[in-house]
Amino acid sequence: MGPGPIFFGPDKRTKMKKTGQEEIRVLLGNVAIARGIVEAGCHVVTSYPGTPSSEIVPAVVEFKKELGLNTYIEWSANEKVAYDNALAASLTGKRAAVAMKQVGLNVASDSLMSSAYTGVIGGLVIISCDDPGPHSSQTEQDSRFFAMFAKVPAFDPSTPQEAKEMIKEAFELSEMFQIPVVLRPTIRVSHAKQSVKLAPLKVLDREANFEKNPERWAATPKYRLVLHKKLNETLQKISERFEKDTKWNYEVGKSISASLGIITCSVSFANLMDILDELNLKSEINVLKIGTPYPLPQKRIADFIDRHKKVLIIEETDSVIESQIIDKSKVLGRLTGHIPLAGELSPDGIHNILAEVLRELGIANLEKITDSKLDKLIEKLNLQVRKPTLCAGCPERAAFFAIKKALPKAIYASDIGCYTLGLNLKAVDTVLDMGAGITLASGFYQAYHQDKKDIPIVATMGDSTFYHSGTASLLNAVYNNARFILVILDNEITAMTGMQPTPGLGITADGSKGKIIPLKELIKGCGVKWIKTIDPYEVKNLVKLLKEAKEYSQRKDGGIAAIIARHPCIIRFPEVCEENPVKVEITDDCNGCNYCLDFFECPALYPDEERNIVEIDRNFCVDCGVCIDACPKGAIIPMEKKNKAPL
């Protein structure tokens, strides 16, 4: 048995050993980042959850409790909101950190670009966690490019320990040069685990003190040009500092005989070092580790390239270092086709890149890693890949099943969250980015309506996603006369990323009370006139309601029809199912048609191939009883019904 879905940090030891000085703890990368934030004496922390960044804020909350700190911590409605709230704290002289996943930075980019010009007062650090792979994201974008785009410095850690130290340096740098600073951990740092040395906390007593300076904080375009020039000067100074720095930028191995040099960063550095160790290649290859990819320490790089016949650049995810290098004549990397243009650089991947380059340069003959006999055998087993699926008893499954049933021909515009897995039920046609469920639905409507065709369109969106970016999309749709059915999948939590509270729950990041923002009022406020709330477990009623909704959305005086399908996430709130269990069983009427497996796919249902029927795995079943409505033969029934029958 393990702890709940959120998994990190402090444990009972903290009771035994208070705020250890030279204490060592095994920390998840994101928890180490949280610790760095706390050690830096940061006053304000804001964030919107998203893999691989979600564990940072809960860990700050834990440290706050453990150490009795006065940190203000918020789960913000979205990343831009988080950014601005953190920035404001910085303008009052406090230290602030804002954390998000890499695509979250797209949402916050407007603020990032502008604040790069206006600058900061108290240290402001942006933690943007990248996801090469991608494991849990819609793109593999490299946040370091965003730092470069905005012209703010970036740090790129290789390990949790280094991430923690870099945060502290980032705060110092930010204050010294009055500029926002980006820390870019990749998923292999955020979700790495390491024994990390803790350090004492910095105590910074700072009272909020916003000094008015409209020329700067409300700069007009004319003055923006002045700010831009200043920013360039600041960057020049920072780059001089990075040139001299040996803590984040350093060489490993100074073999004069080495003809190949490698410039690398992030977790690729860690992977490479273990490989060079293993293959005993340290005298053949020198390595320059770069922890500050922007602004790039150009002189150091040029000097390193100068001392080698060829230099290979190994960096994730894109070519940020490589593209900044001025003289590329000796450089091998993505631009020369030596490094893949997409995907994560695994240790085996790096091994093979190395083998190729060493062979090309005639330095060594390193065997490439190919599929072994075992790999081939296992491939032949044709194992079904276990794709993620909605949990047994998940209310979203019930909702999707009803939607498919009521409106089988509709276009299903969906969004980002657990409910993206509605894909498996074929009730999700589009997933673009946060909030696009509604915008794509209204766009689809307009495109068809222009041709005088009104087809059914269903937008599905989770509650947290709706709070994140649903309102602007919805009021726009209402305003422009779009018509579709909006189903808000309200499980009262941000489930996918680890159960963060939403504004609908009225609990803030550290568990204290916040104001509840009722979904229904919000939807009403966007101008929607037809709003119904229902428990999706009542599949039959939901099917009926969906048909009514369709009718309303196509009526002359109708409009957008909104259904709030509300049922708590059964993982976060297991007690809800335990209160009213509906134990089901499968009767002899089951003829093994597999309809429930194919169109309902509850993981607790499995085919008994020998007997050609479907069975229930009691280890997974949570007694939600929803499958009763999923079987077209009526072969799934509540248990007590049968027991009562003989009476």
Partner 1 sequence: MRLQIILAGIGGQGILFSSKVFSELGLKMGLDIMGSETHGMSQRGGSVIAHLKLGKFQSPLIRNGAADILYSFEENETYNTLKFLKGGGICFVNLESVDQFNKRIMKVLKEKEIALRAFDATGAASKIGSIRSANIVLIGYSVGTGLVAIKYEDLKYVLELVSREKDLKINLKALELGFQEGKRTSKNPGKSL
The site partner of 570 among ligand SF4, partner 1, none (C-beta below 5 to 8 Å per kind) is ligand SF4
Tokens of 501: 């509270």
Sign (positive or negative) of CA dihedral 333, 339, 345, 351: negative
Instruction: Please identify, among the stretches 246-254, 280-288, 391-399, 510-518, the one whose residues bind ligand SF4 according to the rule CB under 6 A.
Output: 391-399
As beta bridge partners, residue 607 has: 614
Q: What's the Cα-to-Cα distance from 352 to each of 123, 334, 357, 413, rounded to whole Å? A: 42, 14, 9, 41
522 binds partner 1 (CB under 8 A): no
- Label residues 392-422 b or e (16+ Cβ within 10 Å = b): bbbbbbbbbbbbbbbbeebbbbbbbbbbbbb
Q: What's the Cα-to-Cα distance from 584 to each of 114, 400, 516, 615, 636, rounded to whole Å? A: 58, 21, 36, 11, 7
In the complex, least distance from residue 113 CB atom to ligand SF4, rounded to whole angstroms: 34
Q: List Cβ neighbours of 43 (8 Å cut-off, separation of 6 or more).
A: 70, 71, 72, 89, 94, 95, 96, 122, 204, 206
Binding residues among 545-604 for partner 1 as defined by CB under 8 A: 603
Q: Based on CB atoms, which residue is closest to partner 1, 23 or 84?
A: 23
41 binds partner 1 (CB under 8 A): no
Size of the site for partner 1 (CB under 8 A): 62
Are the C-beta atoms of residues 631 and 590 closer than 8 Å to each other? yes
The site partner of 627 among ligand SF4, partner 1, none (C-beta below 5 to 8 Å per kind) is ligand SF4
Helix locations, 381-493, DSSP H: 395-406, 436-449, 463-479
Q: Based on CB atoms, which residue is closest to ligand SF4, 181 or 394?
A: 394
Q: Based on CB atoms, which residue is closest to ligand SF4, 584 or 590?
A: 584
Over the window 164 to 203, marking each residue x when it contacts partner 1 by CB under 8 A and - when it does not, the resulting string is ------------------------xx-xxxxx--------
The site partner of 386 among ligand SF4, partner 1, none (C-beta below 5 to 8 Å per kind) is partner 1
In the complex, least distance from residue 428 CB atom to partner 1, rounded to whole angstroms: 14
Binding residues among 572-631 for ligand SF4 as defined by CB under 6 A: 584, 602, 604-605, 616, 621-627
Q: Which CB contacts under 8 angstroms, 24+ apart, belong to 540-543?
A: 540/629, 542/398, 542/399, 542/402, 542/406, 543/402, 543/405, 543/406
Instruction: Please identify, among the stretches 61-69, 228-236, 372-380, 472-480, the one whose residues bind partner 1 according to the rule CB under 8 A.
Output: 372-380
Question: What does the alpha-carbon distance between residue 636 and residue 627 come to, in Å, rounded to a whole number?
Answer: 7
Binding residues among 309-368 for partner 1 as defined by CB under 8 A: 346-348, 351
Choose which of 396, 463, 490, 492 interacts with ligand SF4 (CB under 6 A). Answer: 396
**Identity of the amino acid at 126:** I
Binding residues among 390-429 for partner 1 as defined by CB under 8 A: 390-391, 418, 421
In the complex, least distance from residue 378 CB atom to ligand SF4, rounded to whole angstroms: 29
DSSP 552-619: HHHSTT---EEEEEE---TTT-THHHHHS---EEE-TT-----HHHHHT--TTEEEETTTTEEEE-TT
Q: Which residues bind to partner 1, rule: CB under 8 A?
A: 1-3, 5, 7, 11-13, 24-26, 28, 51-52, 54-55, 135-136, 158-159, 188-189, 191-195, 267, 269-271, 273-275, 346-348, 351, 369, 372-375, 377-378, 381, 383-391, 418, 421, 496-498, 603, 619
Q: Which residues bind to ligand SF4, rule: CB under 6 A?
A: 390-394, 396, 418, 491, 495, 569-571, 584, 602, 604-605, 616, 621-627
